[in-house]
Chains A and B, each alone.
Chain A
């Protein structure tokens, strides 16, 4: 291929990776059911090399798929056929720390946790904490607008980015800041899934490390009581640092894996963390315990060790479920909190219908659901059945006034579900926004926003934000 030849000719040795064996590690991201080898992988060491790569790819009309650590769960970094993967993992320096203004300037390939480690000595940390934070990069976090356990109180990536520098596909540099006049271009870049530009430098906001954090573990005899407790905590005027819910199957899996003392007789479990000064923590704890007084089990962490231990079960829920099944499929719908109990009930009905087991792990505080559907890819047809199940859950999320993806992104995985959430005119606006930044459609083309004919072919009845067409008709 000419483009590969030219990349290898222009860029220094070791930057361009080619060949069946060498490109294999890049053939998928965290959504490993989809695999595709790219023409080549470029791992630049500086901005100039990124610009050279873009220039060559543009000249050869070759699509570019930008990649951080490849931990994404929706196929956002899955290579396209005939594409070049632009991996930014070598750009991994924290460039400067501004303690007074609580900011850090970092390169896009810096790992999320590495920012917190670099600023820890100043009593600061970077708040958004996706589960993959030991591996995922800040550039990828911006691309996906990543969330995490603590975003109920501390916000998503978009709330914690002060400014960024990016390159357009044409190689032009654009600096975007929260203080810009005019349209919200900085916010637009968050969650743009590598379709609009390449992030080359990011200024993140830092947060003072809370003096104290304590977690309350509450077990409930009924899922509905647990779900209602979530709303009650918020209603009582508390915004917990984390508010997570697990169903019985997830509790059993996590306890079997991590042995942290979760109540195995409970139908549902709530973990509620409060943080801040000692006074604040005590006050919030008093309120939370009052709200949770009807729980069948109630326990408060008495030490930092105990707190981390109680979280360990939740944090290992995914691998714990993975141990029980050859494969699992993780969904990411988000719904208004008040519908949590109804949603769980409906997921259980679907589980019966499809004859597939589900473990439910929720970021309950912000209504973000992660049902894990257990399946076996080696059984013919089971992946398709699982995807149909997943699509049903996402449709339900939209119909309840929520969204098909809270924090994982659309990628290639949720293209069909996008047709359910947006109508053609809205999708067209998305396509036109991309054209403004990338007129030749070379940056991660085909991801994140479905083509209109795809939606037409799906032919699903379009239910838009809970508004059914012909609402006068009765439906059962």
Chain B
């Protein structure tokens, strides 16, 4: 498992342009799941169907909206939305320099450092390669009706400028496209 990460780091270091998807990532599976923690830690290429299967055994459910069980958790994260952002607790990423970095964690409350795990939600795979995601889950009875994320189309010039600068922080050479 660690080998695949080293391969991916090498790939990023040697590449001048990458489009990230689960095929490229080729990194799937559940890393840690303790039902009493209400937290799952998984490789980013793990399919939603696989997550649901594991959770069902413990009467637990995802607390974010998905409309396609065949896509990966990494794809849901990259597309973004209110409830996936609310669910995310931590991530491991490979940045544009090829460095493996860790932000957030596996606990519900965590205010050490900026919330990079939620900052990169909705970043469309264009900021960093997300390799691992920790997120909270709920007993099924506590999951209300989930609906597709609402997104506004408006983006201010200042916001666009900030996002470009933030991309440069994580991906100075502009590898992730």
Q: CB within 8 Å of B: which residues of A?
A: 144-145, 147, 151-152, 155-156, 158-159, 168, 172, 174-185, 187-188, 190-192, 196, 231-232, 234-235, 237-239, 334-338, 363, 366-368, 401-410, 414, 417-418, 421-423, 425-427, 429-430, 432-433, 436-437, 448-449, 464-465
Contact = CB atoms under 8 A, between A and B. Distances in A.
Interface in B63-85: 80, 82, 85
Contact of B156 (A145, A174, A337, A465): A174
B20 to A, nearest CB: 16
Nearest to A192: B114
Contact of B169 (A238, A367, A408, A429): A429
A363 B8 CA distance: 39
B152 A184 contact: no
A48 to B, nearest CB: 19
Given A432-B169, A464-B102, A421 B119 contact: no
B56 to A, nearest CB: 13
A335 B107 contact: yes
Contacts of B144: none
The 5 A-B pairs of least Cβ separation, nearest first, read A187-B118, A406-B109, A237-B139, A231-B36, A366-B108
Nearest to B38: A234
A158 B107 contact: no
Interface in B114-133: 114-116, 118-123, 127
B113 A336 contact: no
Given A192-B114, A404-B112, A426-B103, A433 B82 contact: no
A406 B110 CA distance: 4
Contacts of B102: 422, 426, 464-465
Nearest to A403: B110
A405 B127 contact: no
A190 B115 contact: yes
Contact of A145 (B85, B115, B162): B115
Contact of B109 (A192, A239, A407, A417): A407
Contacts of A147: 109
Contacts of B158: 168, 172, 174
B81 to A, nearest CB: 9
Given A181-B152, A407-B111, A429-B95, A336 B118 contact: no
A177 B162 contact: no
Contacts of B39: 336
Given A158-B115, A184-B80, A336-B34, A403 B107 contact: yes
Contact of A337 (B37, B59, B99, B122): B37
Contact of A177 (B34, B138, B152): B152
A334 B142 CA distance: 24
B141 A237 contact: yes
Contacts of B139: 237-239
Contact of B111 (A178, A231, A363, A405): A405
B166 A422 contact: no
Contacts of A183: 119-123, 127, 163, 166
B51 to A, nearest CB: 18
29 contacts: A145-B111, A147-B109, A151-B108, A151-B109, A152-B108, A156-B108, A168-B158, A176-B159, A179-B152, A181-B80, A182-B80, A183-B123, A184-B115, A185-B119, A185-B159, A234-B37, A238-B139, A336-B34, A401-B106, A402-B106, A408-B111, A409-B111, A410-B112, A417-B112, A426-B102, A426-B113, A429-B95, A432-B169, A433-B119
Nearest to B106: A401
B159 A426 contact: no
B155 interface: yes
A172 B161 CA distance: 12
A336 B155 contact: no
Most buried by B among A144, A191, A404: A191
B163 A418 contact: no
Contact of B36 (A155, A180, A234): A234
Nearest to B172: A432
A2 to B, nearest CB: 30
Nearest to B139: A237
A132 B124 CA distance: 39
A31 B108 CA distance: 24
A184 B119 contact: yes
B86 interface: yes
Nearest to B108: A366
